[in-house]
Chain A
Amino acid sequence: MKDWLEPFSSALSGVSMRKLRSFLTILGVVIGVSAVIALMSIGRGTQTSILTRIESLGANLLFVRPGSVSQFGVAGGAGSATSLTYEDGVAIANQVPGVVSVIPLLNSSVQVISGGKNTRTQVVGSTPEYQQTYNLVMADGVFFSQWDYDNSMRVAVIGPDVKETLFGSGSAVGKEIRMANTVVIVIGVFQSKGQSTLGLSDDSIVMPMTALRTISGQRTTSGQYIVNSLVVAVTDKELSGGIVSDITAVLRERHRLAATADNDFTVTSVAELAETMSEAMSSMTLLLGAIAAISLLVGGIGVMNIMLVSVVERTREIGIRKALGAHDWNIWVQFLVEAALLTLAGGIIGVGAGWGVSNMVSRFGNMATTVSADIVVLAVSVSVAVGLFFGFYPAWHASRLSPIQALRTTE
């Protein structure tokens, strides 16, 4: 036995001889570490899947949305258009170089009825380019055409959830649905896109904006059609250039904003959006991890408690070791290593349990999870650190026992 190995073997035998108690002692650490692993992996997984989805939209898209600043009644904007209009989109397409196309989006929440069934759902009015921009794949039927758009045809492409609600397992294509007393023909059903924070949910309907306008359209005082947002497709080269400021300039002029007034709209690129989302998700993940880390702290206090009890119980052992020539630091290291071994074991078991939980979540909860190596390494080293921190005082206490007093203790 090597000299420096002695505290390890002593500590190891100390742990292994009290298996049940050792396990109960580290249970707090196990739960803490598995909570950290599970929550962090769910957070990371969600983040990754959201980013993937955003990026699948294409990096060459810009989103123009009405700004919230108009709510504060900025003087320069008063009386002019405070919202985006379809005409704004046309102007951007015509005046800004590098713009490939502009897709208007008109969102409306509508009660949809078919036969005896009805549901309230989100209806998006747009142009035929919508399908390509949002990568919509048809499960059944077709997407609406330019002709449908031009002639304000009351046709609808419905999501799988809407189809399920209104038509069950039967076919929906060719059936009639009613929206606010208007009859609309279903011409297609798109494939499920899964959960989506951006773009289209499965519980929604897409139809020509020209048709949706006749059902629930709004106009500005000057007679322009209001839209909820504009999606601007640009050539890749233009994205890095000044296209955002070009669009901003066009819109400021059209909205007659004074030079000192704030924009009453925002222009965001997919990249920016991804970045913002990523930051938000990161802090969310961190918050989840921090909450889970509190249970690690509680686990550490449990370890300290048991270590103190263990020192009292093993006073005689400490006395014997000291009589044999053990220095204070031998005893100190022994108990410290014992505490660290306990929490290390807790950390390793916790990683396994957390990995299991996150696997279950991804399998049965239909959520993406990512157990990444850095979280595992972090969780295990933190649990060892917890052992060292909370084992410090008990180990110090043990090392300070007088050999005479310790030997006199009866077992």
Chain B
Amino acid sequence: MIEIKGIVKSYPMGRRELRVLQGIDLLVADGEMVAIMGPSGSGKSTLLNIIGCLDSPTSGTYLLDGKDVSRLSGSELATIRGRKIGFVFQSYNLLPRLSALANVKLGLSYAGVRDMRLASEALERVGLADRANHRPTELSGGEQQRVAIARAVAKKPSLILADEPTGNLDSKSGREIIAILTGLHREHNITLVMITHDPGVAHFCQRIVHMSDGQVVSEERP
């Protein structure tokens, strides 16, 4: 479903260009669970942003479900983000002024989903049904990340992208998060691409992609 060929991303830096991605080729099949590892500045997040349609590549092609999305307009990308992709960030990125349930509902409304019962179901799935009306500040880090996962999966996306989802959590909470993510992956056959620094987390994935200096250097299957 994800077919990336020769993706280059460069940013202007004064008079020179900073090439963050130097020609990436990557294939991720439907329902696959892939970990991306690599040192800071290797271009992992930039790649994930492009996969997530938050950013467009400078050159190269990106086919998502057979459709070339590398040249789409901002509005078309927004539609794809809303319908197909769920994000889980390292810093949770919940809106602090909204309750857990309202945060999940917000994700549904931007996806154009009208059935708001899905929000409660998603919270139930991550084990937070009883905390639906708490604000993020009243929740622990692990709980906040579970709300973020509920927000990402409530609209039943085909692709979940996680950028170091356990990076801010203690190991116990981290394991819970990974358990939820792998569980969702298995139950709904969701494609999952995850950036992580933790080899223990990457170990749960079917494939590990190693990046360095804007290139894919190796792949392994644990």
Q: Determine the distance from Cα of A324 to Cα of B79 in the docked complex, in whole angstroms.
A: 9
**Residue in A320, A321, A326 whose Cβ sees the most chain B Cβ within 10 Å:** A320
Question: Given the known A-B contacts A317-B95, A320-B95, A404-B49, are A326 and B78 also in contact in the complex, defined by CB atoms under 8 Å?
Answer: yes
Q: Determine the distance from Cα of A195 to Cα of B151 in the docked complex, in whole angstroms.
A: 70
- Cβ contact within 8 Å between B95 and A322: no
- Cβ contact within 8 Å between A13 and B81: no
- Cβ contact within 8 Å between B110 and A325: yes
Cβ-neighbour of B97 out of A17, A316, A321, A325 (below 8 A): A17
CB distance from B77 to the nearest CB of A (A): 9
CB-defined contacts of A326 to chain B, threshold 8 Å? 78, 82, 110
B109 within 8 A of A: yes
Interface residues of A in 190-248 (CB under 8 A from B): none
CB-defined contacts of A324 to chain B, threshold 8 Å? 81-82, 87, 106-107, 110-111, 151
CB distance from B50 to the nearest CB of A (A): 10
CB distance from A175 to the nearest CB of B (A): 78
Cβ-neighbour of A325 out of B83, B93, B95, B98 (below 8 A): B83
CB-defined contacts of A320 to chain B, threshold 8 Å? 93-95
Total interface residues on B, using CB and 8 Å? 29
Count, A-B residue pairs, CB within 8 A: 67
A403 within 8 A of B: yes
Interface residues of A in 296-352 (CB under 8 A from B): 316-317, 319-328, 330
**Residue in A13, A322, A324, A407 whose Cβ sees the most chain B Cβ within 10 Å:** A324
Q: Determine the distance from Cα of A403 to Cα of B89 in the docked complex, in whole angstroms.
A: 14
Q: Determine the distance from Cα of A6 to Cα of B107 in the docked complex, in whole angstroms.
A: 11
B75 within 8 A of A: yes
Q: Interface code B83-101, partner A: CB below 8 Å = 1, 0 otherwise? A: 1010101000111011000
Please name the residue on chain B nearest to A9 by beta carbon.
B102
B18 within 8 A of A: no
CB-defined contacts of A373 to chain B, threshold 8 Å? none
Q: Determine the distance from Cα of A319 to Cα of B52 in the docked complex, in whole angstroms.
A: 13
Q: Determine the distance from Cα of A281 to Cα of B187 in the docked complex, in whole angstroms.
A: 77
CB-defined contacts of B179 to chain A, threshold 8 Å? none
Cβ-neighbour of A3 out of B55, B94, B98, B109 (below 8 A): B109
CB-defined contacts of B105 to chain A, threshold 8 Å? 1
CB-defined contacts of A323 to chain B, threshold 8 Å? 52, 54, 81, 87, 93
CB-defined contacts of B75 to chain A, threshold 8 Å? 327-328
CB-defined contacts of B110 to chain A, threshold 8 Å? 6, 321, 324-326, 330
Question: Given the known A-B contacts A1-B109, A13-B97, A320-B93, are A404 and B78 also in contact in the complex, defined by CB atoms under 8 Å?
Answer: no
Please name the residue on chain B nearest to A325 by beta carbon.
B82
Please name the residue on chain B nearest to A7 by beta carbon.
B109
Please name the residue on chain A nearest to B163 by beta carbon.
A407
Q: Determine the distance from Cα of A328 to Cα of B109 in the docked complex, in whole angstroms.
A: 15
Q: Determine the distance from Cα of A321 to Cα of B128 in the docked complex, in whole angstroms.
A: 22
B183 within 8 A of A: no
Cβ-neighbour of B78 out of A14, A17, A328, A407 (below 8 A): A328
Interface residues of A in 125-142 (CB under 8 A from B): none
Interface residues of B in 115-166 (CB under 8 A from A): 116, 151
CB-defined contacts of A325 to chain B, threshold 8 Å? 78-79, 81-83, 85, 107, 110-112
Please name the residue on chain A nearest to B85 by beta carbon.
A325
CB distance from A405 to the nearest CB of B (A): 10
Please name the residue on chain A nearest to B76 by beta carbon.
A327
Q: Determine the distance from Cα of A89 to Cα of B52 in the docked complex, in whole angstroms.
A: 96
- Cβ contact within 8 Å between A3 and B78: no
Q: Interface code A256-285, partner B: CB below 8 Å = 1, 0 otherwise? A: 000000000000000000000000000000
CB distance from A15 to the nearest CB of B (A): 11
- Cβ contact within 8 Å between A13 and B98: yes
> What are 18 of the A-B contact pairs (CB < 8 Å)?
A1-B105, A1-B116, A3-B109, A3-B112, A13-B97, A316-B93, A319-B93, A320-B94, A321-B106, A322-B54, A324-B81, A324-B110, A324-B111, A324-B151, A326-B110, A327-B78, A328-B75, A403-B55
Measured CB to CB, the residues of A under 8 A from B are 1-3, 6, 10, 13-14, 17, 316-317, 319-328, 330, 403-404, 407
